[in-house]
Amino acid sequence: MFSAKVVVQNKTGLHARPASQLVQLSQKFESKIRIISDNTEIDPKSIISVLSGGVSQGTAIEVEAEGPDEEFAVNGLVELIESFTE
């Protein structure tokens, strides 16, 4: 298992377009991925899960992945989340 922590800086959090981009990227990886936010587990391969996760600006989250491409998955998702600056 590989994980990393990141603070969401985007004004709208993980909502709408950022959520869609997150899901699209997550689905490219084989690993099982999850995002932990305030004791809530979010499946980043599901748009419903991401939107209902309620991740807003300033929220610290942990991205975890387990599988053959876990490091690439975590690093890619953290980089994407850090790039959101709407």
Residues assigned a catalytic role: 15
The token duo for 79 is 């980089």
Number of H helices, E strands in the chain: 3, 4
C-alpha span between 69 and 39 (Å, rounded): 25
Residue of 6, 47, 5, 40 lying closest to 26 (CA atoms): 47
3-state SS class at 20: helix
